Structure 1
Amino acid sequence: MMNDTSIPEFILLGFPELQKFRFLLFVVFLTAYLFTFFGNALIIGISHLDVGLHTPMYFFLSNFSLLEMCYISVTVPRLLASLVMGSHAISFWTCITQMYFFFFFGTTEFFLLATMAYDRYLAICHPLQYPVLMDSYACVYLALGSWLSGFLTPFLPTTFISQLSFNSSNQINHFFCDTGPLIKLATSNTFMADMMVFLVSAVVVLVSLLLTVTSYGLIVSTICRIPSASGRHKAFSTCASHFVVVTIFYGTVIFMYICPRSDQSSDMDKVVSVFYAVITPMLNPIIYTLRNKDVKKALEKALKRVKNGCLKHRGKTLLTVLTGTSTLT
């Protein structure tokens, strides 16, 4: 290791200009975290319990929901702890670990979004061959490939950053250990680390974006050839939710990691980071449930089963009480 061991920890500044509103921020971020966590958990549960949702589309959606739960758990819990306890210190290796897992889950999301676009392409453009092309083995391999690719991708950028020397200011102007703010604190030559982060980010984003755009280009071309308006609407509705998520996530991440920015944009970086690290995962359960008739129907069925189960339980309890009373009489 080349980093200076005299700096054993960093200070995550978070939102110093909003310190007097830290309890309000705690409530806002806690609400966003709980909504994201339990909303995505609900999607996983519904997709697992309802037989009608045992399809490739909802298999990938369950993977995506699990990914969003992991993704938001990398940053928000520590932010909540710092808002409550006021301690913003984080050790060097904890910082590196947080950065790695944030990179890991973010990269996996790109690959998984591209996989979901490919799934919609096969379903709409090749409906007759779809059951064969996207069987259970293909689903597992594609999902596993997305997770494994995301896991391996951050190794080189993380290795280069961990070898930098940090022997001056240890204050990170961010609410989590992101690559850019951490590199800015280094006193050694950061050219290779900067280039590695940029190249890896560019390759991951642009390759997955190319695959996604190609899939949607072919999807749009196929939909336009459908003669009936109802058929076009039905075909488009199956991928509209995914397209909305892709647009939001890609837009914010490209702005953050690909587009050149001035060194004075730290506050803007934090705002954009909040958007793609907190708000976007929170929007996904809303987008995929409110715009998805199958999920809403499955949720209604589940609620009815729960309601009927409660009524039966109450009926049995009342019958037991009445029977016991009659016996005593």
Structure 2
Amino acid sequence: MLYGNGVIAGITLSDHRLRSPMNFFLHNFSFVEIWFPLVTVSKLLAGFFLGRQTMSFAGCMAQCYFYYLLGAADFLLLGVMSFDRYQATCNPLHSPVLMTVHFCLKLVFSSWAAAFATILGLLILVTRLPYCSPNILNNFFCAQTLLVGLACSKTEQMEAFNLVLAAGLILSSLVLMGISYSDITLAVLCIPSSWGHHRTFSTCASHMVVITIFYGSCIFMHVRTSHAFPEWVDKALALMTSIVVPSVNLFMYALRNEKVKEVLRDAVWRSGLFPTKGEAGGVGGQGLGV
């Protein structure tokens, strides 16, 4: 998964055939997906190998911040990508004029800045809570909802703030995607070609699979109080967002992209891992001659 997203991030940045707004956003999206398992699973694996399942308070807060920062950036980038798909499908003539390099950079920078500021404010509130024993989190990373559950004071206001913040962040990007894909669907229905219907709906269907899995797991995990579900459900949802979703995103957004697959095939042939068609034919011809 790390290698796959790393390759996608690299080729979308380096190959001139992938210099388009969609692939630029895909590059940033793959970059986020690389860091998700590094932030969460790497600490879990280190604990297994070293035999020490402890973490300092500062380390726990840092892990919590980066996990939610990446999650917030994911939501916002998915919304931006849906807007780009809407422009390319519904306004194909106007899209190159609007989706310039400068404008795409502004969208990505705004997404990261909004995620940074939002999650930083939330983390400051979490660090100011009074904590007391037991200081044990029954999960493989420091989730904000679990940290709030360890506080010694009343946390109703904190949980209400977290609920409103999570719902606003998730639902705002979800509404943007819903509007974009609804307009795309209406525009596609006006295309007389059945091949055009199939191609566009195939792309949108793959995106909707990612959206359903990612948003479904995140809504159950974050838009809730700290004790809404059993602990095993929290672990399953954390595993879903940390490992399963980045893997699905790699397949749905990158490996179903025809241009990305073409560039990957060319990179494999150039690497020399497999013989080209001409080389394969030459070897066969020599064999037959002998």
- Does TM, scored on the shorter chain, surpass 0.5? yes
SS of 1:128's partner is coil
Question: Offset at 1:290?
Answer: 3.4
Structure 2 equivalent of residue 101 of structure 1 = 66
Question: Offset at 1:309?
Answer: 11
Letter in 2 for 1:74: V
Structure 2 equivalent of residue 232 of structure 1 = 197
Letter in 2 for 1:234: R
Q: TM-score, normalised by structure 1?
A: 0.80
- How far, CA to CA, are the matches of 2:83 and 2:253 in structure 1? 18
* Residues 137, 90 of structure 1: alpha-carbon distance in 2 compared, 3 angstrom cutoff: same
SS of 1:153's partner is helix
Question: Offset at 1:37?
Answer: 1.2
Question: Offset at 1:244?
Answer: 2.2
Question: Offset at 1:119?
Answer: 0.2
Q: Would you say the 8 A contact 1:179–1:197 is kept in 2?
A: no
Q: Would you say the 8 A contact 1:41–1:66 is kept in 2?
A: yes
CA RMSD of aligned residues (A): 1.9
Q: Would you say the 8 A contact 2:86–2:181 is kept in 1?
A: yes
Q: Does 1:282 align with 2:247?
A: yes
What is the CA deviation profile of residues 181-240 of structure 1, one whole-angstrom value per residue up to 9, with x for unaligned ones? 111111112123212211110110011111111111111111111111111122234444
What is the CA deviation profile of residues 35-72 of structure 1, one whole-angstrom value per residue up to 9, with x for unaligned ones? x2110111112212322111000000000000111222
Structure 2 equivalent of residue 299 of structure 1 = 264
- How far, CA to CA, are the matches of 1:229 and 1:260 in structure 2? 47
Give % identity: 38
Question: Offset at 1:263?
Answer: 4.6
Q: Does 1:161 align with 2:126?
A: yes
- How far, CA to CA, are the matches of 1:262 and 1:150 in structure 2? 25
Letter in 1 for 2:258: K
Q: Would you say the 8 A contact 2:268–2:274 is kept in 1?
A: no
Matched residues, number:
276
Question: Offset at 1:280?
Answer: 0.8
Structure 1 equivalent of residue 111 of structure 2 = 146
Q: Does 1:45 align with 2:18?
A: no
Give the counterpart of 1:211 among 144, 156, 176: 176
Q: Would you say the 8 A contact 2:86–2:184 is kept in 1?
A: yes
SS of 1:89's partner is coil
Q: TM-score, normalised by structure 2?
A: 0.90
Q: Would you say the 8 A contact 2:82–2:180 is kept in 1?
A: yes
Q: Does 1:87 align with 2:52?
A: yes
SS of 2:115's partner is helix
Structure 1 equivalent of residue 81 of structure 2 = 116
Letter in 1 for 2:201: F
What is the CA deviation profile of residues 284-327 of structure 1, one whole-angstrom value per residue up to 9, with x for unaligned ones? 2222343222111111111122229999xxxxxxxxxxxxxxxx
Q: In structure 2, list runs of 5 or more residues that go unmatched.
A: 277-290
Question: Offset at 1:74?
Answer: 1.0
Looking at CA atoms only, which structure, 1 or 2, has the larger radius of gyration? 1
Question: Offset at 1:259?
Answer: 4.8
Letter in 1 for 2:250: P
- How far, CA to CA, are the matches of 1:285 and 1:270 in structure 2? 22
